[in-house]
Structure formats: C-alpha cells, structure tokens
Structure 1
Amino acid sequence: MYRTPLSIPLDPGSFGLKKTLALIVCGITLIAPLSLGAQQNTAKLNIAPQPLYAALTAFAEQSGIQFVYDAALVKGLASPGVTQEYDTGKALTHLLKNSGISYRFTGANTVVLYRNEQQTTNAGQEADYVLPVVQVTSDAAGKSGEATLPKVTVEADADNPYDDPTWQTDPYNTDYVLPNATAGTKTNTPVMETPLNMQVISKQVLKDQQVVRLDQALKNVSGVTTDSSNFTQGNQSILLRGFASTTYFRNGFRLRDSATTRPMANVENIEILKGPAAILYGQVDPGGMVNVITKQPLATPYYALSQQFGSYDLYRTTIDATGRVTKNKDLLYRMNMSYENSGSFRDFIDKEDVFLAPVLKWAISPRTQATFEMEYNHQHAGQDQGFLPLQNGKPLDIPRSRNYGEYTPNTTETIFGGFNWSHQFNDDWTIKHQFSVNQQNVIQPHLVFPFDVAEGDVSRLLQSFDTQNDTYATNIDLIGHFDTLGLKHTLLFGGDYYRLDKEQQVTIGGTSTINVFNPVHPGTPFTQPLQPLANTVNDTDQFGLYVQDQIKLPYNIQVMGGIRYQYLHQNNKDQLAGSSSG
C-alpha cells in the first residue's frame, strides 16, 4: 500500500488481520452537514507530469484535499499534471485525464477515487470506500458555546503491516521478527521466500538487550560466535559455522578488521547469512557473512537521547535525530552520535569511543533518489593479551585482574564515505549504484607482550604496529521483475569492483621480566629499543560480474540460481628488502 500524510489509500477488503488505523477527531465544531458535491474553491497548482500516485500526493499537499482510494487503483498509471489555476473539481478532472478513474466528494475536503465502471448510486456499495460515520457528543463547550469534541480512536486491521515499505524502518516498530532481508539476494525478498539460511536481528532486539558492540548482538544467532582466544580490544574474529573472519558488510559493502567493535549507534538491523555467498559478493568466507543495515533519513521527525550505565565505569550516550531539511520532503537528514567510556576488571584496560554518522537523502524525483553518508569513529583503548601463567601444566592461583603487560594503547581511527543513487524506470525495473570509501588507521606504539614463565618471572616482548587499511569500492545492480509461462522472475544483473590497500610497519625491541607472584610495574628495563622488523604494502584489485534469477514456481516453491565471473590481482611489496611479488 502507498501512504502519504495527506493522501490515504485504503484497501476495501483489508480490514481484517493485523494493522491499527487511528482516526483522531478533536476541536471540530458541528455546524452543518457536509456537502457531497464538487467544491468550487480555486487553487494555483504546479504539478508536473509524473506517476499518478505521486501526482495525487502533490495535489493533496498543494490543495489540502484528502484522497481515499485502493492503492492498486493507480498502480502503473501516469498523470498529465496540472500547471494552471483551476477550481478544485476541474483541476482534479484534468489530473485524472485518460486514467479511467473518476472521483466523488464525500466531504468538504475528502475525495473518493474509483474506476468508472465502479460508479453506482447504491449506498451499500459506496460504503466499501467510506469510513462509517461516528457521532460524538460532548458536555464541554468553548467560549463561543460551540462544542469541542474529545479524541476518538477508530481501529481497524490490515492484512500485513509490512505492505507499507516504511514500517520496517519505523522507529516505533517494536517487532522482534522482520520478514524481509537483502543480504541473501540483493533484492528486498521475504526471508521465507529466500532459499538460503537467513536471520535478521531487529532494532527492537538491539534496544531491549542494550547492545553496545556487534559481538553482543551476534549471540542471538546460532552457529555464530566471536573469537575470545585473544583479549585485544579491536581485533576479534567472527566465527560462522566454524570459519573465522574479521570481515563484515555495511549495507552490502565489504569492510575489513574491527568487525566486532563496530559502534551500534546507527544500526537499523543486522542480517546474518549462513553458507556460501560468493556469487553475489565474491571473496566471502564459506561460513557466511554478517551484513549491518544502517539507519536512513525519515520524513517524519524523530529525536531520541539515550544514556547507559554499566559495570566497570561504563557510560554511553547516544543521540538519534532525523527529519526534513526542506518542507516538501525532497531533502531529508539523519544524524547519529555516540560517546562511550569504560574500564575493565583487568589492570591497564580502558576504552574511549567517539562516533558520528550523518546522512543526507535527496529525492530528485518520485522515482529517483540519491544518498550521501559518512561515518567517523575514533577509538582509544588499552589492550590485554590475556596471558595466564602455568606451573606444572596448571594455571597459577592469581587475581583475575592481574595483567603482566603494561599499559598498551591502541588507537583506531576510521573514516567512511558513501554515495548511492537509484532510479525506478517503471514498476518492474530499477537500477542502483553505490560508491564507498573506507579508511582505517590502527596505531599500537608500545605493545608489551607476555609470552613465557621461567624461575618465577614472566618474560615480555616489546613491539609496535602501525597499520593502514584503505578500501575503495563501487557496485551497480539492475533488478527486473517479469513473468514467463506463469513463472514469476526477479532478475539481477550486477558488477562490483574493490581496491584494497594495506600498509603495515612493525618494529620489535628487546625483552623484559616481571615477577609472577609480586609484579612491580614497569618491570626490568627492556634489553634493546624498538627496531624495524617489517614494512609491507599489499594492493589487491577485485572485479566481478554476476547474474541471478529468483523464480517463484506454483505451490509457493522458490528456486534461485546464479553465476559469477571474478578477477583478482594482488601485488605485495617488502619495503625493507626492496622486493615485490604479484
């Protein structure tokens, strides 16, 4: 169903199962019965030729008229528009020209649309399109003696709330189960019609569980865990069906490293695909993939402020704001921000996280839109290698807070920028294009790594790391819907290109010792200062073309098949040795 604030399409047979329609009546003065004839008020209109549903929306906004109609009535129809000053009736006649649709005023500002063959004087048939009259009386009276009606709520159910495409992203949607997902097919397909193992974690689940990091959210999915074998904050792996990976996807865009520590302030929901996904995404681990769907701008203003407190001095503040930049809803914005500060039960461990995510969406036309988005994330954390000393093969009885390293700062700065646009040629064919850049710098200037116990002392190694990961990617998809011999097809043609650049500098120093039972920091001096160990540069180019066809057979049987061509070229350089390969 199509819905706008002023244009209200109703399905005559839809009042049956799940959705609530609220009618608010307040501050209305009962003066005279409403006229049912065409209104003669004039208005200067400026409505360009466009799809009929969009023209009706524009007419409603410019004239104040409210429409009641079946959404299927206007599907696929076009309007010549109106660009002159007309009285309301003539303007509407011109707007509906050659559409086969007529109108009828049922109130001063309410119009019912119907096909010409549906016109009838039978009152019972007209009632299919007109809400029943609700008579309300009140003892309250205004200063002028006119009655002011109290609020009245009229409820009715619809077949499926997700027929409204905005319901899944509505901030007030409290559903735990979301029926549609995009990761498995790159099309907005119901999960029950996707011949892959797909699961979706909704924003209500994230909200109720007060999720702070991605690894906490993934505990809701069977077969998906995070690697806890190392305690470094910022480099845990995701294990899907036993395959470890530090890669995750953001709206279908592949990102490397720091997956489990990704901020959650702008996450709408999380899609998990179990099993191979190489046809659509190329270089993906065989266990599956995790796709994070981010929040997008909304036309209805929404503002939220959240404050969290937790163990070990955790406090986290998040802000979410969205709405219109212009009155006509052509330009929308969304801003998500978060700040987190926390400690740990382990010595020398803390974390500070600053995150900003602005988004700007431009509706160029009813069928064309462009979105600009950015993310900035600064994380500063103390690292812990989780070293546990053993004696005769058994762990020593030591306090769980003890850290045999030193304060090991780890600073990660990530900047993401993206631009995407889409155009709907008609009701069946759509093209989408996305360009994204992600730059991440990880600096570990002083890493103290405990590695052995001998004669009551813990030996420690001094190292440092400076890593730069840059990802540049573009992707284009053409999606079409058509029928052949009674079979419904959803056809996808697409291509993607990734440029992955990684540069890492590693230095290594001497060793130091500290007593295992009575550690006195910073321990003995290191035997030698940091010296260069490695300086490597890795460049990877990936190019892919793919075709996929989703076929809906009789008896609700779903079949999907596809093919992909992949080209990959990698070049490795050792800056210290002056050699390269690739």
Structure 2
Amino acid sequence: MRARRHKNIMARGERANPPHIAQGLRKRNIAIAALVLFGGAAHAQSTDSTSDPATSGEGRAPQTAQPSNSSGTNQQLNPVLVTGEREKETATSPVEGYVARRSGTGTKTDTPIIETPQSISVITADQMQAQAAQTVGEALRYTPGVIGEQFGGLDSTVDYYTVRGFQQTMPFVDGLSTQTFFTVLSPTYDTYGLERVDILRGPASVLYGQTVPGGMVNLVTKRPTADPLHEASIEVGSRGLIGGRVDLSGPVNKDGTLLYRFTADSSSESTQTAFVQDKHIYVAPALTWKPNADTTFTLLSHFSYRDTGRQNVDLPSVGTLYASPFGRIGTGTFLGEPEFNEYRRTDEAIGYELEHRFSDILTVRQNLRYSHTHLNQKIVGDAGLEDDQQTLDRYAYAARASSNVFTVDNQAQLRFGTGPLEHTVLVGLDYTRSVDSWDERDAFEVPSINAYAPVYSGASSIVLPDAPDFSVHDTLNQLGLYAQDQIRFGKFVATFGVRQDWTSTKQYDNVAGMNSQSNDANRFTYRAGLVYLFDSGFAPYVNYATSFQPGLGNTFDGSSLKPTTGQSVEAGVKFQPKNQKSFAMLSVYNIKQKNVVEPDFDHPEGNFVVQTGGIRVRGVELSGVADLGSGLSLTAAYTYMDGKVTDSDQGYAGNRAANVPHNMASLWLDKTLQTGPLKGLGFGGGIRYIGSQYGDQANTLKLSSTTLVDAAIHYDIAHWRFQLNAQNLFDRIYVNCQSDTYCSYGLRRSVIGRATYQW
C-alpha cells in the first residue's frame, strides 16, 4: 500500500473558464411511456400544408407543431395536428426535417441565417431523433468545426466539446449563460427536451459577454405549441438500456391564449465500465400566455436527477494509448472502488421569456432564469503507475458541491428606416451572477490496485477526515451593456455591434478563513460584418469580431490571472437555393487568443491553472444540409484546422495546439421509401472521421485518427414509428488523453431500439 503521490485535478473539474430517488427507476421508465401509450386518447386528422420560404425580417408568427412529413424525409414521426395550418418558421419554433432557415443565436433577433455574417449551424430535433443522439455531445457529431465528444463521450456527466479548436463545457441555454467555476458542475441537458441546437462559430462576446473565440453552443428548449401534440416512446438497448419518454403540448383554454408543454424522459442502463450504472430522470413543464397579439409570456422550467458512478476517464497512458508488457487495460475495467464511487446530482431551473410589442417600431424583451445544482460525489482515481508498470497508485475524496446561477437579459429592439437604409437596432443590458460552493474531504491513504487484474479493497479501506480539507466559496458577477445595428441597403446587409463588460471573480477559502483570489476586469468587445444577397441564393460575407473571458482560477505561485482575449477574421459564402430545402456554406477563418488558461498538470495537488500565452487556429469549413424530397435527407461536413501555440510560458511555443486535428469529415444520409409494398421503410447511415491530434500542449501525447460508422433502420406506419440505431457500428476502440494519468476509451458500439406512438 502506498500513499497517493498526486491527485489529478480533472476529477474535480478544472476551473472553467435530495434523498436518493433512483431506486426502482427501471419500472418507472416503462410506466411513463405506458401511461400515454395506452391512455385512450382519440386520434386526430393531420394537415398537409407546407411552409412558405423564410423571408427577410423578423418572424412573429406563433410557434406550432409541424404536420406529418409529406415528403417523407428521414426524421422522427411528426406530431399530428388537430386544426390550423403550420405557421412560418421562427428562431425557436419546431423545424420540419434537417434544414433551419432562421436563428436568433447570431444576432439575438429572429434573422434568416443567410443574412447573418457569421458561420451558423442548426441541429434540429428531427436530426437528433433520427441519429438517436442521447447527449449534446452526440448531437454535435456531424457539425463542421466541432468535436462533439472531445474525450470520447465516455463521461456522460459533462459534455466536453470543442468549437474551432477551443474547448467548452458550458453551453448557453435559450440565449442565457450557464457559467460556473467548476467544470463538473457544467449543465448537461437531455436532448429530448431540446427543439434545436444552434452553433455560432467565431467570437460571440459582443452579444453574450464571456465566451471563447472559437464560438458558442446555444441549446433551444422546447416551448408550448398552438396545436395539440401528443407523443410517447419506449426504448431498449444494449447494456440493459430501458427508458420511456413523453411529449405533450397544446392549448389549455378555448381561445388559445394559454398553451402548455410537458416533456419527460427517464432511463436506466449499465455502462461501458464495470460496476457503473446510469439512471436519470428529466422533467420539463412549460407554459405560454398570450393575452393579446402583442404580448407573449413563456414560463420555462426543468428538473433532472442523475445517479451514476465514475467511469474510467483517468486511466494511465501506458496500457491504453501506449502498449505495455502486460497488454492493454480492458475497456470495461473499473479501477475505482465499487462500494465507494458515487455521483448523484440534481438540477432545477425556472425562468421566463417576456416580449411586448409597443408598436411596429419598438419591441421589448426580458429573458430570465435561475438554476440550482447540487452534487454529491465520491471518487477513487488514478494517481499514476508505479515502476512495475502494472500497480496503480490511487487517490480518493468525497465532495459536496452546489451552484446557483442567476441571469437576466433585457432587450429593446427598434425597426425603422433612414432614407434607403432599413435598421433593426438592438440595445441590451444583461447580468449574470454565479455562486459555487465546494467542500472536499481527501483520503489519508488509498490502497493501490493492479490495473490489469484488479482486486478491490472495499470502501472501509478508504479513510476520510471528519472535516473538509478543501473548501471554497466562489462568486462571479458579469454586467454587460451592448448595442447592435443590422442595416439593410438593397442587397447588402451589414451588422455592427459593440459591448462593454464589467466582471468580478472572487474565491473565499473556508479552511484558511480568507479570500484566496479576487479579480476585476472591464473589457470592450465589438463586431462588424457584411453580407451581399445574390438573387441566385449565394451570399458572400466577411466578419471581424473580438472575445473576452475574465481570469478564472488560481496559479501555483499565487499571481492573478490576466483576462483572456481573442480576435477573429472570417470570410465565406452561403448558398440557399430558392424553393429548395437545402443550405450550404464555405468559411475560412483565422483566430488568435492571448492569455490562454489551462490546467496545471505540473502541480496536481491543487486545482491550479497556468496561462500558456497565445494560440492561433486557422481553418476552412465546408458543409451542407438538405431535405431533397423523395424521402432523402443528408448532412455533410469537412473541416481543415491548423492550430499552433504562438506564445508559451512553459516552452511550448511552436507546438501544435492541443485537441486540434488537421482534418475532420462527416456524412449522414437517410432514405425513406415513398411507394410500393415497403412504403415507410427507411435506412440511414453515417461516417465520422477525426484526424490525428495531440492531447497536450507539450505534444507528448499523439492521438491516432479515428473513423466511426453509425447506422439506422426505421419503419413508419399509421401513428407509429419503429426505429433501430447503432452507433460505432464496427466497434472501433480508440483512446483520448489529456495527460499521462488522464486517458479514456471512446464509446464502443451501442444499439438503441425505440417505438414511438403519436396521436
């Protein structure tokens, strides 16, 4: 037995930039689906109207569910409507198929994507359902410039992803920040509760404050629909997966001024790692009140609970990435303690979106959300191999953590003309306050274990102190004032924006009884972009933008962190042919970032960070998405990136930037038969390629390229859809590493079967 040599800080989560209720969850998963499947609701007739093409200007039509897909594109069975025609698409409404035409993420106004001078992708609910995406990371798999599962997707408690080479774990949700201090407290959203996922590439600080320069991910949650929507599913899969889900929506009263939506998802399954079960519940009620044509108030809320264990995301590089005299550590090997490891988390959030139109010129909005997270976590992790290359030293701790995030965004939008110029002016003031607490008790001594033939010592072998030896209280405040003008002059559309941020971060050390960190920073950011709209559907654009992040974390020598800043130049061309459901885009860009923060693996005893200096990433992206009719849909993407450490305090200047492969490519196709005796039968398939990359800035951990294949088969009949998806079809084994003691296997083959009923 040896005392731990060091603790890998990623277990707690690097600084980011209730009672047990899960017993018997498997039975409740079936009950949730059965409740609605056999509720005896009456069938309704569907409409078959088609939407008008998106036009310039802000869409103000109310949201509604979509009718059955007459073109037969590959997608989830569409909700059945009782009355009315499908309204025009908006930035938050359901999208039929894969091709979205509008987004509010790039401008905070409901704007056609082709008119936004920046690269934007939208992953619709239909695409997520067709690909059986269970996490946000899985939903991002076929997106240009994005690694959706940066470390292989094995850790389902946090979505690690990169956008244009810059890591993120904290998406925006409905345009509002989810910023916390600790990565492990980052939000993880159930994809079934999402209407769409918007990816804005390039700096977004001019509208959202602190963001990385690579871009941002905005999760748009489901909202109440004006037409009745009823759906229930039951699913089973490999590793004992069983789950149920429901999605109900429609008017509450006869005049349709009050609408509701109720979405729920529950599942239980074993995992790729031995002794680790994953159980979760997600519930999201929403309510919309429209007292008149000019006022809309939408209440959004959700509750989630997850009970799981710690999967092996901190394996040694020897035996996984590199061969050892003893072979390879098994992909399902568990190197913790089955009776000790624990992860129980609850998330609650409630907020609203209020919009009122005073006139054709002035519209005001207020979007607000409060969220609370509570986490109980016990971990036994990798502290490094001993000299015999098979005995693994381990560390252990028990932690209680919480996060409280309040954020509000106030907006005033004005639409007016000045001579030949048409203006859409947006002025806003937003505020975010994040308060985190972390109490940790570190084990005095932890028995070592044989990584190739583990024999567990039991929870009683891990002795914890009675009181926390690490306890901090962190506070972040951000206040931002911004203004934007979208100017239309003939076929030109120009977008200009400016923002001033005031931020403060503070950490109080409860053990020492004193402030251990205090940083204040003010930053001015801006953006300018121009698009020209050809009649043919081509739209060349150019954009320049800056970004800003306050310094978060502690350095080993106690020095304050500098603000992290970024700038980006981007040019490209978008193509949206008229009267077709397709969209293509070519982008080239150059991004520079200064004062980059990363975990300090040289001092793993503390949760320290270092600033490597500067990183430059430049690249090319080519993508297309289409619903081609005759039951054929596709999405395709190619990305070239060149990432480089331009300045480093650790001697890494000139190295390739970590987690930036030179090449990535993906293709997904789905075909549904439209005629004949097999009408309704469909097949889908996809291929994903990620080129070789380095897992660290020192360029000592080279990760091999990976090619993965996905497949699907589905059959639609009457109100039913039966669907079978296989991910990583050929069971490719691959490894991702962040350090010599923090490697993990990627997700192996999984199969999910689902039956969905709509009425």
TM over 0.5: yes
CA distance in 1, matches of 2:320, 2:448: 17
Matched, 1:507 2:441: yes
Question: CA offset at residue 557 of structure 1?
Answer: 1.8
**Equivalent residue number for residue 176 of structure 1:** 98
**% same residue:** 25
Letter in 2 for 1:397: R
Within-5 A mapping of 1:276-315:
276-315=203-242
Matched, 1:412 2:323: no
Letter in 2 for 1:427: D
Which of 231, 238, 261 pairs up with 2:161? 238
Matched, 1:271 2:198: yes
**Equivalent residue number for residue 197 of structure 1:** 119
Matched, 1:466 2:400: yes
Letter in 2 for 1:553: F
Matched, 1:576 2:503: no
Question: CA offset at residue 154 of structure 1?
Answer: 10
**Equivalent residue number for residue 440 of structure 1:** 373
Deviations 1:476-520 (A, max 9, x none): 111111111211111001110111101111221112122334322
Within-5 A mapping of 1:472-483:
472-483=406-417
Letter in 1 for 2:469: L
**Equivalent residue number for residue 32 of structure 1:** none
**Equivalent residue number for residue 253 of structure 1:** 176
**Equivalent residue number for residue 28 of structure 1:** none
- Relative to structure 1, the CA distance from residue 314 to residue 524 in structure 2 (aligned partners, 3 Å threshold; closer, same or farther) is closer
Deviations 1:235-269 (A, max 9, x none): 34221111112111111011146657421122101
For the residue of structure 1 that corresponds to 2:138, the secondary structure is helix
CA distance in 1, matches of 2:216, 2:507: 26
Larger radius of gyration: 1
Question: CA offset at residue 391 of structure 1?
Answer: 10
Question: CA offset at residue 452 of structure 1?
Answer: 2.2
Matched, 1:210 2:140: no
For the residue of structure 2 that corresponds to 1:219, the secondary structure is coil
Deviations 1:117-156 (A, max 9, x none): xxxxxxxxxxxxxxxxxxxxxxxxxxxxxxxxxx9x9989
Question: CA offset at residue 559 of structure 1?
Answer: 0.9
- Relative to structure 1, the CA distance from residue 527 to residue 248 in structure 2 (aligned partners, 3 Å threshold; closer, same or farther) is closer
Indicate if the aligned counterparts of 2:63 and 2:225 stay in contact, CA closer than 8 A.
no
Indicate if the aligned counterparts of 2:137 and 2:160 stay in contact, CA closer than 8 A.
no
Within-5 A mapping of 1:82-101:
none
Matched, 1:335 2:287: no
CA distance in 1, matches of 2:430, 2:205: 12
More off after superposition, 246-255 vs 381-390 = 381-390
Indicate if the aligned counterparts of 1:513 and 1:524 stay in contact, CA closer than 8 A.
no
Aligned length: 428
More off after superposition, 162-171 vs 298-307 = 162-171
Within-5 A mapping of 1:32-181:
165-166=61-62, 170=66, 172=68, 174-181=96-103
Indicate if the aligned counterparts of 1:405 and 1:450 stay in contact, CA closer than 8 A.
no
- Relative to structure 1, the CA distance from residue 485 to residue 468 in structure 2 (aligned partners, 3 Å threshold; closer, same or farther) is same
- Relative to structure 1, the CA distance from residue 209 to residue 355 in structure 2 (aligned partners, 3 Å threshold; closer, same or farther) is same
CA distance in 2, matches of 1:440, 1:251: 18
Question: CA offset at residue 169 of structure 1?
Answer: 5.3
Deviations 1:280-310 (A, max 9, x none): 1001111111011111111211100012222
For the residue of structure 2 that corresponds to 1:334, the secondary structure is strand
For the residue of structure 1 that corresponds to 2:189, the secondary structure is coil
CA distance in 2, matches of 1:213, 1:356: 16
CA distance in 1, matches of 2:50, 2:171: 42
Letter in 2 for 1:423: H
CA distance in 1, matches of 2:342, 2:498: 46
Deviations 1:50-78 (A, max 9, x none): xxxxxxxxxxxxxxxxxxxxxxxxxxxxx
- Relative to structure 1, the CA distance from residue 482 to residue 295 in structure 2 (aligned partners, 3 Å threshold; closer, same or farther) is same
**Equivalent residue number for residue 655 of structure 2:** none
For the residue of structure 2 that corresponds to 1:512, the secondary structure is coil
Matched, 1:519 2:454: yes
**Equivalent residue number for residue 547 of structure 1:** 483
CA distance in 2, matches of 1:527, 1:384: 19
Indicate if the aligned counterparts of 1:279 and 1:546 stay in contact, CA closer than 8 A.
yes
- Relative to structure 1, the CA distance from residue 327 to residue 379 in structure 2 (aligned partners, 3 Å threshold; closer, same or farther) is same
For the residue of structure 2 that corresponds to 1:227, the secondary structure is coil
Which of 270, 289, 304 pairs up with 1:377? 304
Question: CA offset at residue 392 of structure 1?
Answer: 12
CA distance in 1, matches of 2:285, 2:217: 23
For the residue of structure 2 that corresponds to 1:499, the secondary structure is strand
CA distance in 1, matches of 2:417, 2:178: 37
Report the aligned-residue RMSD.
2.7
CA distance in 2, matches of 1:343, 1:281: 38
Matched, 1:399 2:330: yes
For the residue of structure 2 that corresponds to 1:285, the secondary structure is coil
CA distance in 2, matches of 1:476, 1:544: 10
**Equivalent residue number for residue 430 of structure 1:** 363
CA distance in 2, matches of 1:325, 1:176: 30
Indicate if the aligned counterparts of 1:452 and 1:460 stay in contact, CA closer than 8 A.
no
Letter in 1 for 2:356: H
CA distance in 2, matches of 1:471, 1:275: 25
Question: CA offset at residue 379 of structure 1?
Answer: 0.7
1 or 2 for the larger relative contact order (CA 8 Å, sep ≥6)?
2
Letter in 2 for 1:500: S
Deviations 1:340-378 (A, max 9, x none): 111123212221110100011111222112122210000
Which of 109, 113, 118 pairs up with 1:187? 109
CA distance in 1, matches of 2:459, 2:191: 41
**Equivalent residue number for residue 111 of structure 1:** none
Letter in 1 for 2:451: V
Deviations 1:173-206 (A, max 9, x none): 6321010000110000000000111111111111
For the residue of structure 2 that corresponds to 1:215, the secondary structure is helix
- Relative to structure 1, the CA distance from residue 402 to residue 375 in structure 2 (aligned partners, 3 Å threshold; closer, same or farther) is same
**Equivalent residue number for residue 290 of structure 2:** 363
More off after superposition, 156-165 vs 417-426 = 156-165
**Equivalent residue number for residue 10 of structure 1:** none
Indicate if the aligned counterparts of 1:215 and 1:261 stay in contact, CA closer than 8 A.
no
CA distance in 2, matches of 1:319, 1:230: 26
- Relative to structure 1, the CA distance from residue 292 to residue 171 in structure 2 (aligned partners, 3 Å threshold; closer, same or farther) is farther
**Equivalent residue number for residue 491 of structure 1:** 425
